[in-house]
Homo-oligomer: A and B are copies of this chain.
Amino acid sequence: MAKRFSAEKYVAGILAGDRVMLSRAITLVESKLHSDQELAQEVISQVLPHAGNSVRIGITGVPGVGKSTFIEAFGIYLIQQQKKKLAVLAIDPTSQRSGGSILGDKTRMDTLATNPQAFIRPSPAGKSLGGVTRSTRESIILCEAAGFDTIFVETVGVGQSETAVHAMVDFFLLLMLAGAGDELQGIKRGIMEMADAIAITKADGTNADKAKMARAEYQNALHLYPKAASGWLPQVSTCSALQQTGLDTIWQTMTDYLQLTHSNGFFEQKRHSQNLQWMYEAIRQGLEEHFYQHQQVKEQLPGIAAQVKEGQKSAFAAASELLGLV
């Protein structure tokens, strides 16, 4: 990486809202170098008391749903109408899978990218899901400390990453296209049940009626779901990034959600349990990393796994055998 400063310099820069220092601190968090990681942890520990004062919003949808266009329009709305400071982070461990809709393709968010009240950070390339979720979560803390009060965490609605995002945000927004047919099949099962709100995008022109029908259909379907622990009933609305319509309704839904969950204690409780969840997750990752990098495990795992897969060796016998090597 370019240049390293002392932890104090990073911290001072971040707390002063210096975007360049924020950006460099995130690069530190994303680095695989041990020395960078140590420095990153020091920075995070120091800014931690200044973090947490934001609304963390997960946004997902399959490629083609118009995610970038939505984020740009909704972001500008939040900055201009609601006077927010917005950071947009992306989770996308395998960028070839994203079909070009991810933030790496920055040109899609021209207006937002050049707005002084917005900070956009694409996902680091070539990282595992574990690596990306870890650095994204730490980037949230850094952005909050730098004064951003609204954080978008974007992900592509086709893989495991939604669960990771769901575990780090306060509110989960699913973008959908009208027409419950083929478009849906790209969405992974289980994602719909995570949504606190669904927004039917591209509700304009000849598509407007279809979007309205889809809205009613999804709202009905969501009524069939078991009630969420938050006490919140997920809302469905339509919007058009093109015509800038429906954005206020989505923001109102979020505001309603926040009001409900702040008043019933769910918001704080969820943040607390997310914090703990990440600690246990980090412990698990640390233990597994250490185990699977052990020389003998590396050598014997493939052969043993093949036997387990074919049912020639029981899963538990194989596990004991491998655990015995370390």
Contact = CB atoms under 8 A, between A and B. Distances in A.
Given A190-B193, A283-B323, A314 B48 contact: yes
Contact of A319 (B52, B271, B282, B322): B282
A314 B145 CA distance: 13
A2 interface: no
A189 B228 contact: yes
A62 B310 CA distance: 35
Contacts of A315: 137, 275-276, 278-279, 281-282
B320 A286 contact: yes
A151 B318 CA distance: 24
A44 interface: yes
B282 A316 contact: yes
A283 B276 contact: no
Grouping DSSP codes into helix (H, G, I), strand (E, B) and loop, the A interface class, with mixed when no group exceeds half, is: helix
Interface in A271-315: 271-273, 275-276, 278-279, 281-288, 291, 304-305, 308-315
A311 B138 contact: no
A199 to B, nearest CB: 16
Given A188-B226, A190-B193, A283-B319, A275 B44 contact: no
Contact of A309 (B184, B272, B311, B316): B272
Given A45-B317, A288-B287, A309 B275 contact: yes
Contacts of A194: 189
Given A41-B316, A286-B319, A288-B287, A52 B223 contact: no
A311 B48 contact: yes
A323 B272 contact: no
Given A138-B316, A287-B287, A275 B226 contact: no
Contact of A276 (B272, B278, B305): B305
Contacts of A286: 319-320, 323
Contact of A313 (B48, B193, B304): B48
A210 interface: no
Nearest to A214: B224
A311 B51 contact: yes
A138 B318 CA distance: 13
Interface in A243-288: 271-273, 275-276, 278-279, 281-288
Contacts of A285: 319
A44 B317 contact: yes
9 shortest interchain CB distances as A-B pairs: A282-B319, A278-B315, A279-B315, A287-B287, A286-B323, A187-B226, A272-B309, A283-B319, A279-B308
Interface of A: 41, 44-45, 48-49, 51-52, 134, 137-138, 141, 180, 184-194, 217-218, 220-221, 223-228, 271-273, 275-276, 278-279, 281-288, 291, 304-305, 308-320, 322-323
Given A49-B312, A221-B224, 17 more contacts: A48-B312, A48-B314, A138-B314, A141-B314, A180-B224, A184-B227, A185-B226, A189-B193, A189-B194, A189-B225, A190-B193, A275-B309, A276-B305, A276-B315, A283-B322, A283-B323, A287-B288
